[in-house]
């Protein structure tokens, strides 16, 4: 019979296999097919200090506060693209302020107040915005002009840099003159319907509210819209 001599290296490998088992050295089919754990989106309450702001909404549609809390740092979105933001945020928050946030999780480290009217960013000590009961007249800022207009015309230019003064708009030439049709106004979001698929030269139908002579807006109610004709 041939004698097998174990070298120190072979002896070490044999001891390791014996102690740990072969399962530590091989991946089985069940390991490959094991389901991954998915993190479900949910609502979160946060309290923390604003350490920075993301203000150039025109770049990718996102404006946000960076908030440092006891459980980590969060990006709290208060604007997301052209569809407006339903949550409550007055915009009077600065770096260094402490805020209370009720928001919806977008991804790890990012939350948003845009998905519903229940969400908010509030500076600590700030009272909740008053709600307007159904059937009662809203606050003056909700109805700046009071008059509503139906317009049909051709888009001749666009105002896209919302970050400059909060205004994004289409310039629309109609039979009755040229109008600036706002589809974004500051940090409070825009309730009207606008998909953003309109280009210069397109004909649009507009139902909007007068702001001042030559300017209308779709932002103060869900009944207003800009639609490509």
Q: How many CB atoms lie within 10 A of CB 68?
A: 14
Q: Smallest Cα–Cα separation from 217: which of 177, 162, 179, 161?
A: 179
User: pLDDT in tens for each of the 229 residues of the chain?
Assistant: 555 555 555 555 555 544 444 433 344 443 334 333 233 358 899 999 999 888 766 556 778 899 999 989 999 988 887 666 888 887 778 888 899 999 999 899 999 998 888 899 988 864 444 433 333 333 333 334 458 889 999 999 888 766 555 678 899 999 888 998 988 876 656 888 988 888 899 999 999 988 788 888 888 888 999 999 8
Q: Locate 112 and state its tokens.
A: 């948003």
Instruction: For the beta carbon of residue 125, count every other beta carbon within 10 angstroms.
Output: 8
The tokens for 143 are: 């109805």
pLDDT on residue 55 = 74
182 - beta bridge partners?
169, 217
pLDDT at residue 124 in the model: 82
pTM equals 0.41
Nearest Cα neighbor of 114 from 142, 66, 77, 61 is 77
pLDDT for the residue 111: 93
Query: Looking at residue 203, what is its pLDDT?
Result: 95
At residue 157, the pLDDT reads 87
- pLDDT (0 to 100) of residue 221: 84
Look at residue 197 in the predicted model and tell me its pLDDT.
84
The pLDDT, as a whole number, for residue 64 is: 87
The whole-number pLDDT of residue 207 equals: 93
Query: Which pLDDT does position 59 carry in this prediction?
Result: 58
Is the C-alpha dihedral spanning 207, 210, 211, 216 positive or negative?
positive
Domains of the chain: 43-123 (2.40.50.140), 145-228 (2.40.50.140)
Query: Rounded to whole angstroms, how far apart are CA atoms 192 and 187?
Result: 15
């Amino acid at each position: 019979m041939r004698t097998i001599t174990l070298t120190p290296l072979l002896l070490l490998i044999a001891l390791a296999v014996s102690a740990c088992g072969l399962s530590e050295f091989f991946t089985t089919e069940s390991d490959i097919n094991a389901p991954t754990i998915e993190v479900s989106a949910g609502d979160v309450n946060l309290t923390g200090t604003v350490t920075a702001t993301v203000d150039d909404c025109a770049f990718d549609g996102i404006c946000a506060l960076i908030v440092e809390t006891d459980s980590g740092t969060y990006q709290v979105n208060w604007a997301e693209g052209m569809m407006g933001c339903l949550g409550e945020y007055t915009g009077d928050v600065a770096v260094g302020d402490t805020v209370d946030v009720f928001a919806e999780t977008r991804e790890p480290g990012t939350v948003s107040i845009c998905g519903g009217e229940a969400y908010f960013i509030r500076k600590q000590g700030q009272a909740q915005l008053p709600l307007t009961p159904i059937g009662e007249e809203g606050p003056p800022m909700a109805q700046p002009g009071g008059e509503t207009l139906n317009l049909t015309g051709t888009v001749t230019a666009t105002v896209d840099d919302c970050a400059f003064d909060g205004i994004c708009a289409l310039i629309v030439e109609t039979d009755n003159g040229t109008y600036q049709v706002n589809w974004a106004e500051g940090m409070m979001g825009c309730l009207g319907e606008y998909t953003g698929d309109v280009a210069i030269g397109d004909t649009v139908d507009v139902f909007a509210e007068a702001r001042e002579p030559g300017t209308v807006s779709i932002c103060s109610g869900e009944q207003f819209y800009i639609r490509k004709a």
